[in-house]
Chains A and B, each alone.
Chain A
Amino acid sequence: MQDFGAAFGLAFHLIATGNDNLVEIVLLSLKVSFSALTLSCLIGLPLGAFLVVRPFWGRGVVVAVLNAMMGLPPVVIGLLVYLSLSRAGPMGWLGLLYTPTAMIIAQTLLIAPIVAALARQVLEGLYTEYDEQFRSFGISRLRAAAALIVDGRYGLVTVALAGFGRAVAEVGAVIIVGGNIDHLTRVMTTAIALETSKGDLGMALALGIILMSIALGVNLAAGGLRAMAERQAYA
């Protein structure tokens, strides 16, 4: 296959020439996925911590459901959001279908369970360490949850990265609720799907390479920040 070499060449060419369309698509991808990640952290981290510090009847089932929701197919979420936001749907009056906001909503529904479930996992390990201390100081559950999130923040960055990776890579949900409209709701993954359906596999692969480079960049940046913060914390 000569496609691979050509695709790398094309990817470099696109980046080097700073193609306006490409920049726009990349920025929208990042904007949508980071917005969804922000919302997911605000929902998922407290939820994950709550599930660790607050035992209640049926908690095991809730945790199982949450873990299962990590496997929700994006296309199902896309359909649910489409049916809700469609003019004929219950929230149609908002007029949000085919906007970046609709895409953020869909991706938030997709990754909030991932952030919550993984955060619970990370914080649970921490909690077994801290449990006795919390008890001896008679710390309230709310404060215990807060302490866990603060002390577990480095682990939680990895959780956030997992959520971001899932959001930025999915195509099934955003193509339904965003509509892949040029200059409005076209993101990296929907652009890749479009180029594939045009049979322009070289271009599709080039966009894929760029998407992976961006994901790598985000991970490196997060890793760097984390290392810096850790050095400061223990200095």
Chain B
Amino acid sequence: MSVKSAVLGTVSVATIAFSGAVLPGPARAEGPQVLVQSTTSTQNSGLYDYMLPIYKKETGVTVNVVAVGTGQALKNGMNCDGDMLVVHAKSAELKFVKDGYGVDRHDLMYNDFVIVGPASDPAGIKGMADVEAALKKIVAKKALFASRGDDSGTNRAEMRLWKAAGIDPKTGSGGWYRETGSGMGATLNASVGMGAYTLTDRSTWISFKNKGDFGIDVQGDPRLFNQYGVMLINPKRCPSVKAKLATQFEDWLLSKHGQAVIAAYHVDGQQLFFPNPK
């Protein structure tokens, strides 16, 4: 027994492991790459799967997407982790820019939020277009409502709506008001499981595949407008930002051609995002 055999002994077990470690990796994305911190709806709806290969084909640039909630995306941007942002919480975005974390912010596209709920419609809100009145009915009936509760763009929009209706839903927290603290998809899964109403962006809802007996109850209120924005993480603060590649992608998204690509994306015959750059 020598020190050598100690190494050998360790390695004899580690070898099996190592034989797996040298497996070929994925066809590594080669060439120039840009990293987008993004809201989840644009990924879950399949927009990126549709759009990014087109961009890659035209420019040779690979766009990598980290899809988290808008709140998380903004925080990651503050940490310089990524090159640009696609998010949907306009006031938070403007503050982000004002505080020097982001530059070159533009409106990119919009769709709208809807309230979905079970077919039994315990609060009787089906077909309503007045979102405040609908929320009041939900509270009056103490009907279950699932909230993202994760500081995402959708969660912020929801909190604005409650405030406008003069309701503090947190008083019902754990009772009729259920904060899942997770993404839109996970919250929809939970809603369907519990039979709870929830607020979702239309694009995630349309492409969501576990709808159960759920349908759209409330839509069409102007306050349900959902604006997406695009911006660069400030390259002056974050030297790691690939400003040129990020600007190139942003310009493409805002161009007539990029808008046409976004507008052409349909699921089940419905357009999910409506480009509206100014």
Please report A residues at the B interface, Cβ cutoff 8 Å.
Answer: 24-25, 27-28, 30-31, 33-35, 37-38, 41-42, 45-46, 49, 86-89, 92, 95, 97-98, 100, 139, 142-147, 149-150, 153, 156-157, 159-160, 164, 179-184, 194, 196-201, 218, 222, 225
Contact = CB atoms under 8 A, between A and B. Distances in A.
Nearest to B7: A146
A46 B26 contact: no
A232 B207 CA distance: 57
A153 B13 CA distance: 6
A34 B26 contact: no
B64 A98 contact: yes
A31 B23 contact: yes
Nearest to B5: A146
Interface centre among A25, A35, A198 (most CB of B within 10 A): A198
B123 interface: no
Contacts of A30: 20, 23
Given A31-B23, A42-B14, A199-B208, A88 B80 contact: yes
A41 B14 contact: yes
Contact of A24 (B14, B17, B27, B188): B27
Interface in B1-28: 1-3, 5-14, 16-21, 23-28
| Secondary structure type dominating chain A contacts | helix
B20 to A, nearest CB: 3
B14 A38 contact: yes
A34 B79 contact: no
Given A150-B5, A196-B185, A199-B211, A183 B27 contact: yes
B111 interface: no
Interface residues of B, number: 55
Given A42-B14, A201-B210, A153 B44 contact: no
Interface of B: 1-3, 5-14, 16-21, 23-29, 35, 40, 43-44, 48-49, 62, 64-67, 76, 78-81, 183-186, 188-189, 207-211, 238, 240
B272 to A, nearest CB: 13
A46 B1 CA distance: 15
A49 B9 CA distance: 11
Contacts, number: 160
Nearest to A134: B1
B81 A87 contact: yes
Question: Which of B67, B208, B210 has the most chain A CB atoms closer than 10 A to its own CB?
Answer: B210
A150 B66 contact: no
Interface centre among A31, A181, A201, A225 (most CB of B within 10 A): A181
Contacts of B210: 199-201
A155 to B, nearest CB: 10
28 contacts: A27-B24, A28-B25, A31-B20, A31-B21, A37-B14, A45-B10, A46-B10, A86-B81, A139-B1, A143-B1, A143-B6, A146-B5, A147-B1, A149-B6, A149-B9, A150-B9, A153-B9, A153-B13, A160-B14, A181-B64, A181-B66, A182-B49, A183-B29, A184-B26, A197-B40, A197-B186, A200-B210, A218-B20
A35 B16 CA distance: 11
B66 A180 contact: yes
A106 B16 CA distance: 21
A179 B66 contact: yes
Contact of A198 (B9, B44, B64, B65): B44
B209 A34 contact: no
Contacts of A197: 40, 44, 183-186, 189
Contacts of A199: 185, 188-189, 208-211
Given A182-B64, A184-B29, 20 more contacts: A30-B20, A45-B9, A45-B14, A86-B79, A97-B81, A98-B35, A143-B6, A146-B2, A146-B7, A149-B9, A156-B13, A160-B14, A184-B64, A196-B189, A197-B185, A198-B208, A199-B188, A199-B209, A201-B210, A218-B20
Contacts of A24: 26-27
Given A27-B26, A146-B6, A225 B16 contact: yes
A24 to B, nearest CB: 4
Given A35-B21, A147-B1, A87 B240 contact: yes
Contacts of B183: 197
A149 B17 contact: no
